[in-house]
Amino acid sequence: MNQKIEKIKLFDIINKYTEEGGVTEIEDNTDLVLDRGFSSLEFVSLIMEIESEFGIEFDVSDMDFEHIKIFKNLYEIVIKKVEKLN
């Protein structure tokens, strides 16, 4: 799949959870907790939705919260896992 399409899908999933709702821009360094206001429960729900949407599973080793709460890091994990499927 095209990485640009994957990034747009990830934006859409994240934007479902944000209070702002209509936000379309997420920078690589966006902290989903500090900048987007994700609670820990919302973040777990986000991960579950990403797994379902992309047909992937996060490993325990992927779940370093301080690492994956940054958009770029989360996106890179998703891309690696999607590429393994193909």
CA torsion sign for 41, 75, 22, 35 is positive
Per-domain boundaries in the chain: 3-85
Q: Is pLDDT of 10 > 70?
A: yes
Q: What is the pTM of this model?
A: 0.88
Q: Tell me: the pLDDT tens digits for 33-54?
A: 998 888 889 999 999 999 999 9
pLDDT at position 59, please?
94
Q: HSE on the CB side for 1, CA within 13 Å?
A: 17
Helix, strand, coil percentages, rounded to 5, for the chain: 60, 0, 35
CATH of domain 3-85: 1.10.1200.10
